[in-house]
Structure 1
């Protein structure tokens, strides 16, 4: 019993793992500190509209206790009703494509107004397993910030490859985070490659506060000549009051003929329906309550295999201080991490060295276009796991 207790204490000291953003997480106010809006407005008082906030340093008061890499990863490995494994089980290319659209919607998680994850440091990693699915992320660039993701499921013969470049800007009454990049889902058994992008996150300050996912998402599979357009939008309201900010609408169609097969309509935090335009039949495409409600927090199962670059290790002091609402300690811990990174970059520059990612090969083209390829064929089992 003593040895078991000591092992648990070592695990707790190695990482700080917090509940994932779930259906409830974007709706409750308990995560927010009093007077958050006035403090946000004060923070942005000297920032001009249109300014790029990508490298803007947020004090811990405005941070949730997790890294951006963890947020990206959670959208893949934290799920109740598993929409991902449905994708390769479809009996036809159309059925598989429809499942991919549902899975894409399932990666949307409610944001918490006024709180943002940490900006990952260069070389930071996040490695988590859920059943046979193993997920690995790495911060492959700091200026600009680019995150890469590789996930494999040998049992289901699935592979995911993503890269994201987050660009944040201030627009006077709102802050917009544009998520440039590409998401690939490969169903290897069928030789099908699906490409999709992400909506943008808009944080509204006035006239009412809120955090909304808005914009268009395109999903396409060249192998089956199928395509989908989704529009995440805010329904009609009066002077910014009322309305539903989590509406999604779109269609699935043949790429060559542009002929619509299904119409999509609903709210991604509730129910999204699928209508067959030929028969008029309506079915449920996605149920948020079943998919992203009451999600389980990952746990550390093999501390001996934990990398020092793991997000939950890198930021553990900051996260613990935020959970304790010790803002002075959180600020000091965050400052040490950021200063250490700046010092390492100065050393590389003085030696004429260029940092190279450990898990990905990266190519940078113009206009914020990147390409990231995993160096390994498959992702190994992770020391952190989502409980069954």
Structure 2
């Protein structure tokens, strides 16, 4: 996210935000999900100066809140999101509701964007991937981008797999400035309409090869609600292929949550998120606001 902040002009920064948005898309792994987020579950991680905190702020429906900050760059992102599935016989389409709001506060710019949908097909063979339209807007600079994620045809025989097409344009005049084309899991190019210059803005292989597995810096500072701790026994069972142990560990986690829920109901207490204030309306959906201005450094870090 820091690269989004370093552009010299509003257009440079907007293109960097578009590139960052594309880079956050990862291939969906099709299969059975053994983890079911529990109420109040958190994930707190840092990479360099970027600190990220997620909290499960609702269980029915499942809603997650995210707050990411880089205090040195004065950058902040807030995202309250939840999935709603739609069933179509041989497929399921899950829409990811909730706007990602990225603030480059040194420049007084706010970028608002949605996310593509997850499409799961069962025939003629099972697969899952990202599809649909994404819109990125910056009111301060008057710039917008439209991105369209596509996959193969119904039979899986034609078309470009994991393709992305789009454009960057001026909000007021609708004048197209750049065209975007490529495969988001390989390379994505951007063409300057004015001079015809073509540039690679995203190379998935370089992005993914640069990722490192997170490590625990200080076990004493890990919260009891940390996702890695909550599901540690389940993970150990899966990694050792001890499926029965993983199943029993998952059952124990879920039963503990039911017990806590019964206790709250007996005391007529409502559960309240620890790190966010959350609201919901029929018009605006779910919205969250972080309680702290800056996310603190985490005991789990991703090496640079």
TM range (shorter): over 0.9
Describe the shift of the 1:199–1:186 C-alpha distance in structure 2 as closer, same or farther (beyond 3 A). Answer: same
Aligned partner (choices 178, 195, 204) of residue 279 of structure 1: 195
Distance across 2 between alignment mates of 1:169 and 1:293 = 34
Which structure shows the bigger proportion of residues in strand conformation? 2
Q: Displacement of 1:354 after TM fit?
A: 0.8
Q: Displacement of 1:117 after TM fit?
A: 6.1
Structure 2 matches for 1:65-214, cutoff 5 A? 84-116=1-33, 118-214=35-131
Kindly tell me the number of residue pairs found equivalent between the two proteins.
304
Distance across 2 between alignment mates of 1:364 and 1:99 = 32
Runs of 4+ in 1 over 4 A off after TM superposition: none
Structure 2 matches for 1:285-364, cutoff 5 A? 285-293=201-209, 295-364=211-280
Q: Helix, strand or coil for the counterpart of 1:286?
A: strand
Q: Helix, strand or coil for the counterpart of 2:245?
A: helix
Q: Displacement of 1:265 after TM fit?
A: 0.5
Q: What root-mean-square deviation, in Å, do the aligned CA atoms of Structure 1 and Structure 2 show?
A: 1.4
Distance across 1 between alignment mates of 2:154 and 2:35 = 35
Normalising by structure 2, we get a TM-score of 0.96
Structure 2 equivalent of residue 382 of structure 1: 298
Q: Displacement of 1:180 after TM fit?
A: 0.7
Distance across 1 between alignment mates of 2:255 and 2:92 = 26
Structure 2 equivalent of residue 372 of structure 1: 288
Q: Structure 1 unaligned runs (5+)?
A: 1-83
Q: Helix, strand or coil for the counterpart of 1:295?
A: coil
Structure 2 equivalent of residue 243 of structure 1: 159
Greater RCO between the two (CA within 8 Å, min separation 6)? Answer: 1
Distance across 2 between alignment mates of 1:238 and 1:308 = 45
Contact 1:201 1:211 in 2 (8 A): yes
Normalising by structure 1, we get a TM-score of 0.76
Structure 2 matches for 1:22-41, cutoff 5 A? none
Aligned partner (choices 141, 147, 150) of residue 224 of structure 1: 141
The CA deviation string for residues 27-70 of structure 1, in whole angstroms up to 9 with x for no partner, is: xxxxxxxxxxxxxxxxxxxxxxxxxxxxxxxxxxxxxxxxxxxx
Higher mean displacement: 268-277 or 115-124: 115-124
Q: Displacement of 1:209 after TM fit?
A: 2.3
